[in-house]
Structure 1
Amino acid sequence: MTPLTELSIPSEKPYLLFDSESSPFERTPASPFALTDAFIDYAVRLKQPVLHFWSTKPLVILGMMDTKLPYLDTALTVLKEAEYDYVVRNSGGLAVVSDPGILNISLIFPEGDERLTITEGYQRMHHLIEQTFKSYGKSIDAIEIPDSYCPGDYDLSIDGKKIAGISQRRIKGGIAIMIYISVTGDQDARGNLIRTFYEKGLSGTTTKWTFPHVRPSSMTTLEEVFGMPFSLVQVKQSITMTIQNLTTQLSLGQYDQEIEKNYLEGMEKMKKRNEKVL
């Protein structure tokens, strides 16, 4: 694996930290994705990396492929009855759950003549999470957990159970590497929700698209796997300390007018996307 230190922005460029808890914008299901695009532009303009923490109310984040379910309306009813909102994101993948027990992290980098490969982007995030939790004495593996929700080559797992999933988005000369980490909460209930979503959405129909057969016990939380209480605040602090140890200092990012402009444009795009596919 290529170490994070070898893939980093030069040390004189501090990471710019943003947290959804202090965002000046209304927190809606679409806002993290509009913000991601705005932060990519921000990182490119300032030629500095961005670290963005965000969490949500109960929300199912859908991928474009999920909109191909033959009985999508029935599947969405499952989410509504469970009191989960939903949104179709602007990056790849399939359905994942976000709620107050899940921490979402975005690492955003400007790209110059040398672009990160897709694999290098995943490696960078994997290494960050590995280093953050190495003192707990368990290996964090990057391998697909096929019966998890939104399975992928860089699922992060401990003792064979998935704790996190990673996706990427590349636009405007920058790249965002995004991860959700199941920190605490009822992971079996999350898995059952997505399993039922697909069961109702397919209703026995065979399609040309492949959807996961979710086995809830294939996934877990940090709290469960380490056998101790965790909070999102605690994990945020650990992540920021790791970045400071591996790279450079952190500075608070500033919500300038360009971020607001790009955010509002991104929100409009997300609105149109969701109106079109849902």
Structure 2
Amino acid sequence: MLLREPVGGGPEQDAELGPLLLRRGLGDAVDILRVYSPGPTAAFSRRDTLRPGYDRAAAGVLRLGYVPVVRPQGGSLAVYGPGSVVIDHVHRSGPLPPDPAGRFRHFAAMHAAVLVELGVPARIGPVPNEYCPGEYSLHAAGAKIVGSAQRVTRDGWLFSTVIQVSGVADLRAVLTPAYAELGYPFDPSTVGAVEDTVPAATPEAVRSAFRNAYRLAENTVPLPDPLRAALAGESPAAPNA
């Protein structure tokens, strides 16, 4: 089931919607998908909030126009905005063997295949000193273009992916001081985007390609009013931002 856009709200609501759908579901749907381009967002992990420089990092991204939020998925700070494509895939299965590595492998291969079809020479694997480092990052031309994180609960799992399509200079300008405050190793040159190798690419074209790749997403529905109301009261703005 594919959520119809726009859902409304802002970065705080975007960060909470996936976990809310994982907890409460959407009718009898087993798989719920959202593919969208957000407002300027700085998504910190809970691990980030324990770093001594977190408050300064959150204040700094806000000054640069990016809303700091705390996401329940793992990893470390990821920054994205209108030039990015975010995929939130909720699978409501009840308790199952976790197998997080298997999901990372599956979706990395799937997402790489979609990008290759678009002409991007995407490869699976980390880039040294990348932001939100992960074994299953996707890279092209020596820079990271896709990152994923997931959350597993008794209700199922939420797998979130960010594809950077454009706006690399803005992303580097936000990530560089924030990672310095957090004390993580980071090389700004590792931040890349789809447009680096396919200059004509647009977020709209990338969103369309990924919607088509998820064949489960043929039933498009709006966000029901009760979930919209619940979302309005559960926005995880970053503390002390």
Aligned to 2:204: 233
Q: Name the amino acid aligned to 2:40.
A: P
* SS at 1:214 equivalent: coil
Alpha-carbon RMSD across the aligned residues, in angstroms, is 2.6
Q: Which residue number corresponds to residue 193 of structure 2?
A: 221
Distance 1:262 1:124, change over 3 A: farther
Matched, 1:62 2:44: yes
Cα distance in 2 for residues equivalent to 1:100 and 1:138 = 20
What's 1:253 paired with? 221
Judging changes above 3 Å, is the alpha-carbon distance between structure 1 residues 70 and 114 closer, same or farther for their aligned structure 2 residues? closer
2:184 aligned with 1:212: yes
2:116 is aligned with 1:134: yes
| 69-78 or 57-66: bigger deviation | 69-78
Contact 1:191 1:214 in 2 (8 A): no
Larger radius of gyration: 1
Greater per-residue helix proportion: 1
Amino acid at match of 1:18: L
Q: Per-residue deviation at 1:128?
A: 2.4
Deviation for aligned residue 1:249? 5.8
Identity of aligned residues (%): 20
Shift of 1:105: 0.5
- Do structure 1's residue 31 and structure 2's residue 13 form an aligned pair? yes
1:147 maps onto 2:129 in alignment: yes
> Which residue in the other structure is 2:172 paired with?
191
Change (3 A) 1:48 1:184: same
- After the TM superposition, which segments of 4 or more aligned residues of structure 1 sit over 6 Å from their partners? none
Provide the TM-score with structure 1 as the length reference: 0.76
Contact 1:188 1:216 in 2 (8 A): no
8 A contact 2:33–2:217 mirrored in 1: no
How do 1:154-165 and structure 2 match up within 5 A? 154-165=136-147
> How far off is 1:125 after superposition?
1.8
**After superposition, where does 1:92-107 map in structure 2 within 5 Å?**
92-107=74-89
CA distance in 2, matches of 1:168, 1:64: 13
* Number of corresponding residues: 241
* Counterparts of 1:102 and 1:70, CA distance in 2: 29
User: Structure 1 residues 182, 138: CA separation in 2 closer, same or farther (over 3 Å shift)?
Assistant: closer
**CA deviation vs aligned residue, 1:90-148 (integer Å, no higher than 9, x gap):** 22121111111011111111225644510122123213212312334554322122311
Q: Which amino acid aligns with 1:17?
A: L
In 1: Cα distance, 2:80 partner to 2:214 partner: 24
Seen in structure 2, the aligned counterparts of structure 1 residues 261 and 115 have a Cα distance that, compared at 3 Å, is: farther
When normalised by structure 2's length, the TM-score is 0.86
Long gaps (5+) in structure 1:
1-15, 203-210
Q: Partner of 2:213 in structure 1?
A: 242
